[in-house]
Structure 1
Amino acid sequence: MRTSGAPDTASVFGSVHLGYLVIETERLADWRRFGTDAIGMHHDALDTGLMRFRLDEQECRFLVRRGPAEDVVATGWHVDDHAAFERIEARVRAHGVPVVAGTAEEAALRGVERLVRFPGPKGIAQEIYTTPVRSAEPLRMLASGFVTGDAGMGHVAITSARPTQVRGYFHTVFDARLTDYIDETISGVKIKIRFLRVNERHHSVAIAGVRGLPVDPVRTRVQHLNIQAAGLDDLARSYRRVCELGFDMALSVGQHTNDRELSYYARTPSGFEWEVGWNPVVVDEATWEPGTHQGISIWGHTPVGRTIMDKLEQFRLGARSLVRSEDAVPALSGAGIADG
């Protein structure tokens, strides 16, 4: 039993799961086609400037709202119980970082009973909640299903000039564990990618270090997000739909070196990438040891239709990063975390 007044240092690892994402865009019609007709998710229209996508019985997995960001603006984390919820909230407050309670309207839009919000790396708000609202409405999807449950709904990947601090942030807040690294060379530049898990899913957050590059090559806060298809047929059929409907394919089907997931990457109407994957490894906490893999893919994941003009456009968009500083939320950065 915890002594009154003593800090609660119990771990929340395993009690946290990626629950929803909030996306801001002016391209709502394109997003509806992308989400329903290409990826195959369930769609609910809320009004002219709001819609949601479902993957399962949870009422909201993606909240898409009208706005200028063309980006992910908030990440929602499902916390198993009130004790873990309060432990996370107390940690954030103890480091002097502001915590704000979401309004009843915000909670309803996200399909949760209540939430609190606090700053996260790269300006992505982090939100936590305990009780999702389950929808009684049957799913209307082109996909047979998606894998969510105890592993959460997938992962997010970001680029960062301060990858050690970002890793420290997720360790401090969620007791995230390092799963492994990937060393990759892109256009002659060496990049180290850190993969962090908060439950049995191989990773819920991936952080690609871009320290030393003249610009961050990614305009958006999120480089890509991932959802996991229930079956190989779902993966193949959604890949075909993305191509047939005229959406850009960023990377063809391939298999990753570390989590062995088979996947492809489509480019969303907002510009960041959307990975649909299948059959990644599940971490066994009793035996897993972090390691380093050379290269992102065993095979495949080749760029699709990339021209020199595309590369110049990517550089132009990435150059915007020079006019904004990256906020790693230093109060929560966990300066004592050792990193490779």
Structure 2
Amino acid sequence: MSTTITPSVFGNVHLGYVVVETGKFGDWKRFGREAIGMHLDDMTPDMVRFRLDANECRVLLRRGPAEDVVTVGWHLDDDATFDEISRRVVDHGVPAVEGTDEEAELRGVERFLRFPGPNGLTQETYTTARTSPLPLDIPGSGFVTGAGGLGHVALTTKKPHLVRGYYNHVFDARLSDYIDETINGMKLKIRFLRVNERHHSVAIASVNILPINPIRTRIQHINVQAATLDDMVASYQRVNELGFEMALTVGQHTNDKELSYYARTPSGFEWEVGWNPIIVDEATWKPTTHQGISIWGHTPEGQTVIDKLSQFEAAARSLLHREDTIAALSAPGIADDQLPRPEELARVRAGGR
């Protein structure tokens, strides 16, 4: 029986925006505008937006109790990519709905499709981002977006193979590499997935062997890329001077070689500001495993015994928590130590036929 090879969408997908649900608008405005250095737009009493570039929206804050990222938006290059991803979702019986005009306007896009994702993270796809005629009001040189998108999101999970399978299936994500690391006595394996030239748009961390998740929030951190080293250092100084908590000091990663620091947001997850990560060369890149997340630096700051106990408490609670992995879109059967071949993806998308 012949197998139909579906078109790849790799390279046509870019992290576009995130939606954060929070009740701490005052703290977030100070954090986003004054500390990180993003452009702030007040929309309504219950909606705030941040810009990093010409796009009207890169971070949307909406009032609510979650204190977490609730949605990840993906910018697609064309209608053909939009239709292909929509087909992959709908053909497997996963509900997908089009956002309202009001929701699209708040996100700064023409139209978008919404469907469920792993870890309770709603996924949204769109093709056209609206740009603002107003110049950016930010310190320094700004941020790097473009072909690599907004940056990346990192999450922790009890079912890393299924989460990786989801992004393989929906967005044709490719494995860049792994990192093995021990944090607070827990041995972690982190998988880094790319959907374009950026080294990774999604990082997936899991505790080896034990089915626990030590992170309360849906994501562990968001990354944005500063345009210059001076911009990154200046924002690090502002975070400290304004009294926001620093999670990890400046350091350099082993895999993408990015220099960065991690600040803790008012909602509790972390915000990484980085500079100068490598760009993947698809012709020569091969996945490998690195020992430890950092070549140097990235040392914890201000972590107390209470903080560690809170992580262990979150891990214990996760044993009783059912984690939604969207099994219908999770491409089961793909080995963790290899990239999926096109014929494998075609078989999975066809429901195993």
Q: Pick the TM interval, shorter chain.
A: over 0.9
1:22 aligns with 2:19: yes
Q: CA deviation at 1:320?
A: 4.0
Residue of structure 2 equivalent to 1:336: 333
Q: CA deviation at 1:291?
A: 0.5
1:208 aligns with 2:199: no
Asked whether the 8 Å contact 1:122–1:327 carries over to 2, the reply is yes
1:287 aligns with 2:292: no
Letter paired with 1:296 = I
Letter paired with 1:219 = R
Asked whether the 8 Å contact 1:52–1:60 carries over to 2, the reply is yes
CA distance in 2, matches of 1:295, 1:320: 27
Q: Give deviations 1:58-99, integer Å, cap 9, x for gaps.
A: 000000010000000000000000001000000111111111
After TM superposition, list the pairs within 5 Å mapping 1:109-258 onto structure 2.
109-213=106-210, 215-258=212-255
Letter paired with 2:176 = T
Asked whether the 8 Å contact 2:184–2:308 carries over to 1, the reply is no
1:309 aligns with 2:306: yes
Asked whether the 8 Å contact 2:20–2:67 carries over to 1, the reply is yes
CA distance in 1, matches of 2:12, 2:35: 32
TM-score by length of 1: 0.96
CA distance in 2, matches of 1:86, 1:113: 15
Higher mean C-alpha displacement, 177-186 vs 205-214:
205-214
CA distance in 2, matches of 1:253, 1:98: 42
1:45 aligns with 2:39: no
CA distance in 2, matches of 1:138, 1:315: 45
CA distance in 2, matches of 1:60, 1:246: 26
Letter paired with 2:311 = Q
Asked whether the 8 Å contact 1:160–1:211 carries over to 2, the reply is no
Residue of structure 2 equivalent to 1:3: none
Q: Give deviations 1:36-78, integer Å, cap 9, x for gaps.
A: 0000000000011110000000000000010000000000000
CA distance in 1, matches of 2:195, 2:211: 32
Runs of at least 5 residues in structure 1 that lack an aligned partner in the other structure: 1-5
**Aligned length in residues:** 335
Letter paired with 1:78 = H
CA distance in 1, matches of 2:311, 2:140: 32
Asked whether the 8 Å contact 2:158–2:212 carries over to 1, the reply is no
CA distance in 2, matches of 1:318, 1:83: 41
CA distance in 1, matches of 2:332, 2:89: 15
Residue of structure 2 equivalent to 1:92: 89
Asked whether the 8 Å contact 2:33–2:39 carries over to 1, the reply is yes
Could you list the runs of 4 or more consecutive aligned residues of structure 1 that deviate by over 3 angstroms after TM superposition? Answer: 211-215, 316-320
Asked whether the 8 Å contact 1:161–1:211 carries over to 2, the reply is no
CA RMSD across the alignment: 1.3
TM-score by length of 2: 0.92
Asked whether the 8 Å contact 1:36–1:142 carries over to 2, the reply is no
Residue of structure 1 equivalent to 2:101: 104
CA distance in 2, matches of 1:161, 1:17: 26
Identity %: 67
Higher mean C-alpha displacement, 64-73 vs 321-330:
321-330
Asked whether the 8 Å contact 1:16–1:174 carries over to 2, the reply is yes
CA distance in 2, matches of 1:290, 1:73: 30
CA distance in 1, matches of 2:7, 2:327: 22
CA distance in 1, matches of 2:250, 2:277: 14
Q: Secondary structure at the residue paired with 1:235?
A: helix
CA distance in 1, matches of 2:192, 2:307: 28
Asked whether the 8 Å contact 1:12–1:174 carries over to 2, the reply is yes
Asked whether the 8 Å contact 1:162–1:328 carries over to 2, the reply is yes
CA distance in 2, matches of 1:66, 1:7: 45
Letter paired with 1:32 = K
CA distance in 2, matches of 1:30, 1:248: 12
Residue of structure 2 equivalent to 1:32: 29
CA distance in 2, matches of 1:214, 1:287: 35
Q: Secondary structure at the residue paired with 2:143?
A: coil
CA distance in 2, matches of 1:229, 1:187: 29
Asked whether the 8 Å contact 1:82–1:130 carries over to 2, the reply is yes
CA distance in 1, matches of 2:231, 2:138: 11
Letter paired with 1:274 = W
Letter paired with 2:258 = E
Residue of structure 2 equivalent to 1:57: 54
Asked whether the 8 Å contact 2:158–2:211 carries over to 1, the reply is no
Q: Secondary structure at the residue paired with 1:88?
A: helix
Q: Secondary structure at the residue paired with 1:97?
A: coil
Q: Secondary structure at the residue paired with 1:34?
A: helix
Q: Secondary structure at the residue paired with 2:190?
A: strand
Residue of structure 1 equivalent to 2:346: none
Residue of structure 1 equivalent to 2:341: none
Q: CA deviation at 1:7?
A: 6.1
Letter paired with 2:242 = L
